[in-house]
A and B are shown apart, each in its own frame.
Chain A
Amino acid sequence: MSDLPRRAAAILWKDILSETRTRQGFTAMLSFAALVLFMFSFAIGVDNDLLGRLAGGLLWVAIVFTGTLSLGRTFQNEELAGGTRLLRLYPGDVRAIYLGKLAGNLVVLAALEVVLFPAAAILYQVDFTAQAGPLLLVAVLGTFGFSVIGTFFSALTVHLRARELLLPLLLFPALVPVVLGSVGATEAFLAGDPLGRAGGWLRLLASYDVILFVVCLWVFPVVLEE
């Protein structure tokens, strides 16, 4: 059991290495995220007040769309090279694969958000700095929930023919509490939380994160069986 973090870290390191050596995926993802933010402005119009009020929702939709594209790649390298079977053959608990891949997705999404939050602040003219601490907590909980479910479903769909279509089909309904919680808390904090509703959304996010994490971790070995 004490080997679990070490094995997970090894998988994370492998993925970081292969990503930094090619670097194609991440650049494309950032450009895509920027385009999504632009699309919202084109669709809604140059109404700064309106964009500012919608900023929380728009930002999280951009994260979900871009994140879904990135999730699809979680197991793709292994799948293309037949590496999933090799990973399974290594001794030890296969849950380490889930934890390593989950950590990888968290790193990618964190890197994305580091760019996306300032970009949204500039494009939609909102001030994230006044409530930086609480918003960071929202981002952490929302991103964790997204990655927990996303990593699980990407393992489940990677073998399927229409995986680009099926991943969002399974993922989006499961993300409803994450999106509602993250957007609710982000908008509440941006408005200075006048009604004190942010706390409820944070508790919802945290509980959903914990429940889904436990269930996904518990069931994951079944997904990877041959």
Chain B
Amino acid sequence: MNKLTMLGWVSIALIALGSVLGLAVLPADALQGEVQRLLYVHVPVAWVMMLAFFVVFLMSILYLVQRELKWDLLAVSAAELGVLAAVLTLILGTLWGRPTWGIWWAWDPRVTTTALLVPIYTGYLVVRSMTEDPDRRARWAAVIGLIAFVQVPIVYLSVFWWRSLHQPPSSPQSMWSAYGLVMLLGFAAYTLAFAYLWLRRYRLAATELELELSGPEEG
């Protein structure tokens, strides 16, 4: 078994362990009840989303400096995972928000900004998919990856001024210690899962590029 496959199995095992602990072993939260268990997935997935978009930003900078296509492939692989994590974060968040806040959608700054990240990075992916030339594609994508990262904190700030309701970020300190430990386990598990999927996707992207550059094949 190679190292990457091993990483995949380790992350699946950790996610399974976290799920068992979060769903069956720990008692439900006294105030929020059973829905609180969503947090063991919601918060780590939101973290993966931020990590993924930060990776897009870093890889975009590296591409613009070094102009090597591998940075672009690493960036797009992270962007796809980031969009997936953003959508998952929103779905889990609304499922939790309905019983807790009483409404599905509250125009809270972090929710709104997360929702805006989806079209921003969808735009990144669509521009990329519509550009034929690999170098142009990489250059324009890198520019969007860079600008997006500059605009997002200010978008967050402006929405924050506009409206505020979300509770402060959940951190291990704000919770009973056993909850915090399961949350930390979740962070580790989903970060490893991200690393695994990211590198897998990168390998696929590299193969696709190789095929693209070698021109049309027979059959």
Which residues of A come within 8 Å of B, CB atoms? 152, 156-157, 159-162, 166, 169-170, 172-174, 176-177, 180-181, 184, 200-201, 204, 207-208, 211-212, 215-216, 219, 222-223, 225
Known interface pairs A176-B159, A200-B161, A215-B150; A170-B131 also in contact (CB < 8 Å): no
How many angstroms between the C-alpha atoms of A211 and B153 in the bound complex? 12
Contact B131 A160 (CB under 8 A): yes
Does any Cβ of A come within 8 Å of B155's Cβ? yes
Contact A166 B159 (CB under 8 A): no
Q: List 27 A-B contacts (CB under 8 A).
A: A152-B147, A156-B144, A157-B127, A160-B127, A160-B130, A166-B127, A166-B130, A169-B122, A169-B126, A170-B144, A173-B119, A173-B151, A174-B147, A174-B151, A176-B158, A176-B159, A180-B159, A184-B161, A201-B161, A204-B154, A204-B157, A207-B154, A211-B154, A219-B143, A219-B146, A223-B140, A225-B139
User: Which residues in B have their C-beta under 8 angstroms from that of A173?
Assistant: 116, 119-120, 123, 151, 155
The 8 Å CB contact of A212, one of B139, B140, B144, B151, is B151
Contact A180 B162 (CB under 8 A): yes
User: Which residues in B have their C-beta under 8 angstroms from that of A177?
Assistant: 151, 154-155, 157-158
Contact B154 A166 (CB under 8 A): no
Closest Cβ of chain A to B138, distance in Å, is 11
Contact A162 B154 (CB under 8 A): no
The 8 Å CB contact of A223, one of B122, B131, B143, is B143
How many angstroms between the C-alpha atoms of A50 and B58 in the bound complex? 47
Contact A170 B158 (CB under 8 A): no
Contact A176 B155 (CB under 8 A): yes
How many angstroms between the C-alpha atoms of A160 and B154 in the bound complex? 28
Closest Cβ of chain A to B169, distance in Å, is 21
Q: Which of A160, A169, A173: most chain B CB closer than 10 A?
A: A173
User: Which residues in A have their C-beta under 8 angstroms from that of B123?
Assistant: 166, 169-170, 173
User: Which residues in A have their C-beta under 8 angstroms from that of B154?
Assistant: 177, 204, 207-208, 211
Does any Cβ of A come within 8 Å of B69's Cβ? no
Q: Which of chain B's residues has its CB closest to A184's CB?
A: B162
Does any Cβ of A come within 8 Å of B12's Cβ? no
Q: Which of chain B's residues has its CB closest to A215's CB?
A: B150
Q: What are the 9 tightest A-B residue pairs by CB atom distance, in nearest-first order?
A: A177-B158, A169-B123, A170-B123, A173-B120, A180-B158, A173-B116, A176-B155, A174-B151, A160-B130
Does any Cβ of A come within 8 Å of B64's Cβ? yes
How many angstroms between the C-alpha atoms of A160 and B131 in the bound complex? 7
Q: Which of chain A's residues has its CB closest to B126's CB?
A: A166
The 8 Å CB contact of A180, one of B127, B136, B147, B161, is B161
User: Which residues in B have their C-beta under 8 angstroms from that of A161?
Assistant: 130
How many angstroms between the C-alpha atoms of A207 and B157 in the bound complex? 12
Closest Cβ of chain A to B133, distance in Å, is 10
Q: Which of chain A's residues has its CB closest to B151's CB?
A: A174
In the complex, besides A156-B140, A211-B154, 20 extra interface pairs with C-beta distance below 8 angstroms are A160-B127, A160-B130, A161-B130, A162-B130, A169-B119, A173-B116, A173-B119, A173-B151, A174-B155, A176-B155, A176-B159, A177-B157, A177-B158, A180-B161, A201-B161, A204-B154, A204-B157, A215-B147, A222-B64, A223-B143
Closest Cβ of chain B to A224, distance in Å, is 10
User: Which residues in B have their C-beta under 8 angstroms from that of A216?
Assistant: 147
Closest Cβ of chain B to A136, distance in Å, is 22
- Interface members, chain B 104-140 (any A CB < 8 Å): 116, 119-120, 122-123, 126-127, 130-131, 136, 139-140
The 8 Å CB contact of B158, one of A159, A162, A204, is A204
The 8 Å CB contact of A176, one of B116, B140, B146, B147, is B116
Closest Cβ of chain B to A165, distance in Å, is 8
Contact B159 A204 (CB under 8 A): no
How many angstroms between the C-alpha atoms of A222 and B146 in the bound complex? 12
User: Which residues in B have their C-beta under 8 angstroms from that of A159?
Assistant: 131, 136
Contact A181 B144 (CB under 8 A): no
Closest Cβ of chain A to B150, distance in Å, is 5
User: Which residues in B have their C-beta under 8 angstroms from that of A207?
Assistant: 154
User: Which residues in B have their C-beta under 8 angstroms from that of A166?
Assistant: 123, 126-127, 130
Closest Cβ of chain B to A94, distance in Å, is 14
